[in-house]
Structure formats: C-alpha cells, structure tokens
C-alpha cells in the first residue's frame, strides 16, 4: 500500500462536495492515491482552509505509507457546483445531514455530471432512497459511508438505494477497493447502517456501567482496549464466538452459551443521557485524558490506529 | 516482554485448579513467565493431557515473544487439592461454574493454603461474594476473570468481593501486572462483569441485523474488523467519542450527537435466539469460514491477535 508506482495509469477525476472533517479526509486519501480532485464548498476561502487542513493529515497518511502534498496541482477548487462535477468520474458528497438540501444538491449534481459518473454520498443519517427522490435516475445514488476518519479507517459501508442496479454496486465496490478501502455492501437500508448501530449498542451498555458505578470511564476504556478491541481487530464477533464454541463451532456456542447470553440481554442497561449523566461523563473523560488537548490525543490515537492496521495488513 | 532475563529472582509458586481451556491457558502463561506451577484436576490422566494441550499453545506464546517448554520440571501435577495448594503464593481456580461446588472448593483451599496466598477465581458467571460464603475469611477471595484465551489477551477483570480489603486488591493487581496482564479493577460486582456485558450488547445488535437481512454474518464481521475493532484496539469507546467531539471533546459530542444516539437506542434490535435464527447463524458461520477446521481458524486468529497486540505494545 502507498507505493507511488502503483498509481493507476488512468488517473480518476473525483469531485468532493463539502470540505468539513469527512470531505477533507476523503480529499486527502484521494490525492494520496493519485486521483485528480476537484472540491466545492459554499464556505468562503475554501482553498486556503482546505490546504491547511490537509497538511494536518500528512503524518497520519505517512503512518500508512501514503504521501500527500497539500500544495499539489492535482487539487482544484471550483467556485460552483456545476463546474465542480463536470467531467467527474465520481462524486463523493459530504454535505450537512439535511434531507431537503441533499435532495436538491443531488438533482443538481445529476444534471451537470457525466452520465456514467459514480454518485456517492457519505451520509450517516439518511438513505440513498430518501436523498435521490428529485433525481431523474434515483438508482444512480449510492451511500458510501466511511468510518471516521476516512483516510485511516478501512471500512466503507456501501448502501444501495431501492432502485440501484447490481452493476452500479459493483462499480462502487471497485472504486473504493482501488482506493485501498474495505467496502462492505449492505443488503438493505436501515437507519444508522451497521457500524454505528453496533457501536451505539456497546456504548449504551458502557454508559450504563459507568452510571451504575461498576467501572469508571478510564477503566471501561482500558477493558475494551485490552480485550474486545484487539479481539475484534483480529476476528469479528461471529467468528470469535464460532471459535469460542471449540471444535463444534457456532452450533456448540449457541446451544451451550446462547440461552445464557439471551437471558443476559434482558438485563442490559437502559441508561438515559440526562444532565447528571452527561456532566459526569464529560468530567470523567477530561480526567481520563488528564485534560490533554483533543488534537494531541487524536494524533496519538491515529498513530496507534495506523500501527494496528499495518500489523493486520502484514498478515 | 518475554525476555527470559527479566524473570523474577523470586520465582512464585502458583497453583492452577482445573485444567480445561482456561486453566491450561493460565498454566501456559504462568510457566512462560517463570512461575513454578502446580496443577490439580480431578479428571484422570491430567498430566499427559495437559502437556499435550500446552504444546499446542507454544506457537501463540512465541508470537508474543514468550517461550514455553511443555515438558518443564517447573510443572507439577498434584493428585489432591490439599497437596496442590500447600505452599502456594497464589491459587487461580478454573472449575465448573457451579456455585455449590465452588463454595466447597474454596472452603477447602482456604483451609490448606498458606494464610497469605492470593486466592483467585477465573469465574465469569459468579461473584466472589457468592463463592466465598463458606470461607472463614471471605474477603480473601477475588475474581480474576481473564478474557479468553488468557495466555494471549491482556485483560483481567479484578472484581473484589464485598469484604475484600484494598490491600488485597493491590496485591492482586501487582500479581497480574507482573505476569504481563492488564488488570482492571471493577468497583462493584455485577453479573457478566464489564467485557462480557459490552460484548453481549454488541452481539445482540449483530444478531438483529443479520436476522433482519441487513447484512450477512461474513459482512458483519468484515464491518467490525475494518472499523470498530481496530478503532477500539487503539482507543476505547469513551475516548473515541471524546475525540469525535473535536476540540470540544465529550461535552461537544454529547450535546450535539448524544440525543440522536439515545433516540437510536430505543430502536436497537431485540432479537430472539430461536431455532430458525440459531440454524441460520450456524449455517452462515460455516459458510463464512468455508467450513474450515476451528483449530485452524483459531490459529489464524491468534496470529493476527498477537500481531495487533505486538503493534500496540510497541507504541
């Protein structure tokens, strides 16, 4: 990964709409992977801000063996949407999560972009079917939902709309795979998709356990980083329990431990994020990180993250 | 880690009761860390079986830089409980999860072991307070619950009983730390402790999403190993959301995204492990692993696991 000589001879033209946290991260990855990138964002001074933001992502990409030059000529800032998407092979949109706004945006993009351009939205809160209602060919829009930050974490949840063809899904998977991402295609649209729902289910119990005084915020994080985290980096939950069943695999696991686990589900917590809980979690989070700067902590996490991903990639 | 020259000059005498999966794994780690280990298990032919089982753990320990000789003289098999625990610095019990049996066992151990021996149970299903009722000094018993397999995964949940003194907890933490483990002390006893409850909460939603046809077993595992797993190996859930809040940290995160997440909690799945679900999960698990042998898959997972842990240890 990250070998400049592996850049494709056809260098895709990709348009990134919206240059917030997610759009900037996509831009960084696309450039590092050899795409010619056009960005558009209605905010003033997009170019200068974006190049400064890209510069901050250089070390994280370097940890993965990727090179990014924030001042590259491969990056173009377009002042209007129509110019931005004209000639694009793919459009990755990262606008605010407002249905009305996204619906109009995608009608406009469809009208101006090439007929064979891939049309992708990073939305985590809406579905392609909802967002595409004003398009003349709604099946063209596909959710490509990254896990934050997209330039580091491999997952992209690919969620086709109701009218998306299998051929379009295949092209989307190919696009993300060529970018070094790990696309997983969902079979149907559901709020929150998969990763955020799983994350939220675990976090709910985490909040419960802290709220009940079983463990503090720092201790809970310690439990996860020294057990479930490394475990699920190595093997997903189903495979883990399949192996936990011994020679009999999942059948043995579900027969012997399934009923106990299902009983336990009824006793999982149902915490409320009320004011007392919120301020306690905030105070404990500050304490657990010794009040260190978030940017500094994020850099440390990204380094650890990259080390884990590199170790897995070598296997 | 694993440097033989770092072995303590005082070599602890540790007794392992029960030589199933967990007891064997503890025995392997203790020997590799230089302990003199006495095991006891009522099953016939314990010694021969155990040495064969230990031999299978040699490669996994080697991945972590640890050396294990299954034929070492440091391993003694005792035919009766009293002999096994006499002279022990610590006793780690891994018997069946039956309250009555464990209560009597611990009364017997207490009567025969040195007065200052650490008394530890690997139980995942019971509490020290429940198990210690027939002991004359119930506060001596502490849960030291490992995450499977104990010779590889760092976490040990240390759960004191109602009457356990802070000094005893400190000694237990010191014992596990010297073994290269990552002990996390829980503040109070709760069924399932922390790691299994968190795991179970996520698995519940995983079962729901597969049952609803959103994703298949292989896809769900892919989602986790390419996002949440590596993320939670690098930073726990609270720290992840603290950083997800940007410069404003957890306060910003909970204010802006907390309410949406809490709403989502109400729509998480409540699946039932009925016969149809069970046979579907079993069939999909077989398919996802191409019907490969569980031992072979476990070896592959352990190699990936060790690579992740080594990468984190280097940070």
pLDDT at A138 over 60: yes
Q: Alpha helices of chain B — where are they, by DSSP H?
A: 21-32, 46-63, 81-85, 99-112, 128-131, 166-178, 195-211, 217-225, 228-234, 237-244, 249-256, 258-265, 275-288, 294-314
Report which of A178, A183, A195 is spatially closest to residue A154, judged by C-alpha positions: A183
B263-266: list long-range contacts, CB under 8 Å, 24+ apart. Answer: B264/A191, B264/A192, B264/A197, B264/A200, B265/A200, B265/A201, B265/A204, B265/A270
State mean pLDDT over B283-301: 94
State mean pLDDT over A86-114: 97
Provide the pLDDT for residue B279: 97
State mean pLDDT over B188-207: 97
Judged by a CB distance cut-off of 8 A, whether residue A82 touches chain B is no
* B10 against A289, higher pLDDT: A289
pLDDT tens per residue across span A185-237: 999 999 999 999 999 999 999 999 999 999 999 999 999 999 999 999 999 99
Structure tokens at B252: 């910003």
**0.90 surpassed by complex ipTM:** yes
pLDDT tens per residue across span B253-279: 999 999 999 999 999 999 999 999 999
Q: Least CA distance to A207: which residue of chain B?
A: B238
Provide the pLDDT for residue B95: 96
pLDDT tens per residue across span B42-92: 998 999 999 999 999 999 899 889 999 999 999 999 999 999 999 999 999
Whether A144 contacts A131, CB under 8 Å: no
What part of A 284-303 touches B (C-beta under 8 Å)? 284-286, 288-289, 294-295, 297-298, 301-303
State mean pLDDT over A275-298: 95
Whether A194 contacts A155, CB under 8 Å: no
Burial (CB < 10 A; 0-12, 13-18, 19+), residue A56, is middle
Judged by a CB distance cut-off of 8 A, whether residue B282 touches chain A is yes
pTM for the whole structure: 0.94
| B254, B260, B310 member nearest A281 (Cβ) | B254
pLDDT at A252 over 90: yes
Whether A126 contacts A100, CB under 8 Å: no
pLDDT at A105 over 90: yes
pLDDT tens per residue across span A51-64: 999 999 999 899 88
Split at pLDDT 50, 70, 90, the class of B9 is low
Split at pLDDT 50, 70, 90, the class of B159 is very high
Cis status of the peptide bond prior to B144, with omega within 30 of 0: no
State mean pLDDT over A124-140: 97
pLDDT at B3 over 90: no
pLDDT at A1 over 60: no
Q: Which residue has the tokens 């910003």?
A: B252
pLDDT tens per residue across span A64-74: 899 999 999 99
Q: Alpha helices of A99-248 — where are they, by DSSP H?
A: 99-112, 128-131, 166-178, 195-211, 217-225, 228-234, 237-244
Q: Which residues of B17-49 are buried (b: 16+ CB within 10 A; e: fewer)?
A: bbbeebbbbbbbbbbbbbbbbbbbbeeeebeee
> What's the mean pLDDT when you consider all of chain A?
95
Closest-CA distance, B127 to chain A, in angstroms, reads: 13
pLDDT at A240 over 80: yes
Provide the pLDDT for residue A9: 63
Provide the pLDDT for residue B276: 96
- The length of chain A is 315
For β-strands B13-17 and A141-146, DSSP reports them as: unpaired
| A232, A254, A298 member nearest B224 (Cβ) | A232
Judged by a CB distance cut-off of 8 A, whether residue B234 touches chain A is yes
Interface test with A, best of B56, B232, B245 (most A CBs within 10 A): B232
Provide the pLDDT for residue B148: 87
A249 and B153 within 8 Å at the Cβ level: the answer is no
Farthest-apart Cα atoms in chain A, separation: 62
């Amino acid at each position: 990964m990250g070998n400049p000589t592996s850049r494709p001879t056809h260098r895709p033209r990709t348009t990134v709409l919206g240059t917030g946290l997610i759009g900037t991260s996509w831009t960084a990855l696309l450039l590092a992977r050899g795409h010619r990138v056009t960005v558009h964002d209605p905010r003033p001074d997009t170019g200068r801000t974006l190049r400064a933001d890209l510069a901050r992502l250089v070390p994280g990409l370097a940890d993965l063996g990727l090179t990014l030059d924030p001042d590259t000529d491969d990056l173009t800032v377009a002042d209007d949407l129509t110019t931005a998407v004209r000639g694009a092979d793919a459009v990755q949109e990262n606008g605010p999560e407002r249905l009305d706004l996204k619906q109009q945006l995608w009608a406009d993009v469809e009208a101006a972009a090439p007929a064979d351009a891939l049309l992708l939205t990073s939305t985590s809160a809406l579905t392609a079917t909802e967002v595409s209602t004003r398009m003349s060919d709604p099946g063209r829009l596909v959710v490509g939902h990254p896990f934050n930050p997209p330039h580091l974490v491999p997952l992209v949840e690919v969620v086709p709309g109701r009218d998306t063809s299998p051929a379009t899904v295949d092209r989307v998977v190919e696009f993300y795979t060529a970018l070094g991402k790990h696309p997983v295609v969902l079979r149907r649209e559901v709020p929150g998709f998969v990763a955020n729902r799983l994350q939220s289910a675990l976090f709910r119990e985490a909040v419960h356990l802290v709220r009940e005084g079983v463990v503090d915020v720092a201790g809970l994080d310690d439990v996860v980083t020294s057990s479930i985290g490394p475990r699920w980096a190595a093997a997903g939950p189903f495979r883990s329990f399949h192996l936990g069943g011994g020679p009999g695999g999942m059948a043995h696991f579900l027969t012997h431990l399934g009923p106990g686990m299902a009983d336990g589900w009824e006793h999982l917590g149902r915490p409320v994020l009320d004011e007392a809980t919120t301020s306690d979690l905030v105070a404990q989070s500050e304490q657990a990180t010794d009040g260190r700067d978030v940017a500094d902590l994020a850099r440390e996490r990204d380094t650890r993250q990259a080390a884990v991903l590199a170790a897995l990639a070598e296997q």
